[in-house]
Amino acid sequence: MFAAIAVALFLSPPPEISAPVALVADLESEEILLMKGKMEPHAIASITKLLALRVVVRAGLDLGGKTTMLASDWAHTKGGARTRLVRGATYENTDLLHAALLGSDNRAVVALGRSAGLNHAELVQAMNTEAKSLGLLGAHFTDVTGISHANRMTPLSIVTLLESTLAAPVIASVSRKNEYETRARERSGRPLVYRNTNLLVRDKTMDVLVGKTGFNSAAGWSVAAIVALSNQRRVAIIVLGTSGKHMRFRDARRLARWVETIPWAPARTNQPETR
């Protein structure tokens, strides 16, 4: 479990990045290619949503169903970002899933939990239970959206969360979309369209396989993603705590370009035996 520090690290000096905390891990060799800052639990803001939605989907969320937004969805998300959802309106659950992952809408997460039969307190409890079952050491959650500064994980645990989310196609496939037009309408009557807050999905030098952004005043501007580089090397890139919205993406791109300078060959599996 990512116990080895790659020797290649010393052959290719890592780039300068602004993030106080960062981690890069090779998913095939389970080597840690870079660690910067303390690997202790950090505030993760909306990266929280990956675990919350994993729990909701596993609880039996009906993606073909519909959910009406209630006042309680607003009550549990005070202090967070604004929403484009309308109180009292009914939305398709698949649209709410896109709102939660692409637009990072807090109320959508609470509503989807309710649709799956979990109120806010029950969903928080289920998330902490799921975190233990996944072996997310140092993980702790007190709300389902990431508004709470007490939602914390270690960088290594975030890698494990990303890997488990990648194994959940319903969530992973949404998280890597650039944009999505829902079947709903804005208050103005125009189609409700969500564009991914994770700008890495628009980068032509890598393929984002799963990822999520996050921001609150404790977490700073953060991004976590598993990407396939131009040479098909799959790495997890965790960037936490930058001071600017776009700095997290700049740091992630610099780290990705650096990894591509490190000699690497994919593992050879199921190769025919030679005699």
d(CA 222, CA 243): 9
d(CA 38, CA 271): 41
Residue 201 has which token pair? Answer: 């999905």
Determine contact, residues 219/212, Cβ cutoff 8 Å.
Answer: no
Which residue carries 């909306």 as its tokens?
46
Check if CATH label 3.20.20.70 holds for domain 4-259. no
Q: List the one residue out of 193, 255, 194 whose CA is nearest residue 223.
A: 255
The domain limits of the chain are: 4-259
Q: List the one residue out of 108, 100, 244, 260 whose CA is nearest residue 180.
A: 100
Which residue carries 């791109």 as its tokens?
253
d(CA 109, CA 123): 10
Task: Show the DSSP H helices in 167-208 as ranges.
Answer: 169-175
Burial (Cβ within 10 Å: 0-12, 13-18, ≥19) of residue 193? middle
Q: pLDDT tens per residue, the chain (275 residues)?
A: 555 555 444 457 899 999 999 999 999 999 999 999 999 999 999 999 999 999 999 999 999 999 999 999 999 999 888 999 999 999 999 999 999 999 999 999 999 999 999 999 999 999 999 999 999 999 999 999 999 999 999 999 999 999 999 999 999 999 999 999 999 988 888 899 999 999 999 999 999 999 999 999 999 999 999 999 999 999 999 999 999 999 999 999 999 999 999 988 787 654 444 33
pTM of the model: 0.92
